[in-house]
Amino acid sequence: MSLLFSGCSIPPLSVVGLSEQQAIEECKSDILVYTSSFNPMKNTVSGRQEKTVMKLLVDSETDKVIGASMCGPDAAEIMQGIAIALKCGATKAQFDSTVGIHPSSAEEFVTMRTLTRRVTAGAKPKTNL
């Protein structure tokens, strides 16, 4: 598993585990991709139009979360907790059964229930997100 990466960028970007490209190259089973794009509640109240984008990669055979990325406010802080979960071998079912901290952007990682796409083992990625 890749180490936690957190870039000093605006907006903040953080990644842990495998990228989609790495997952396609390394995994023998299909990759389940869950994504979310939203305007955080704290921005809605202030009127700021700053989007947050998140992605979870799941090995379809084991249900293990093998990668996660986030671009948006507090990305580094949120991804540190996700890094622990990945290191412990957390599954998508465990993410789904976790109660989110509301209101927070972090809760989005445990409420992504709708599959965005399924990447067939050995296929080429359709996006770099």
The answer to whether residues 37 and 127 touch, using CB atoms and an 8 Å cutoff, is: no
What distance in Å separates the CA atoms of residue 27 and residue 122, rounded to the nearest whole number? Answer: 8
| Strand residue runs (E) in 28-76 | 31-38, 52-59, 65-71
CB 53 within 8 A of CB 34: no
Run of H or E including 81: helix 75-87
The answer to whether 52 and 72 are in contact (CB under 8 A) is yes
Residues marked active site are found at 102
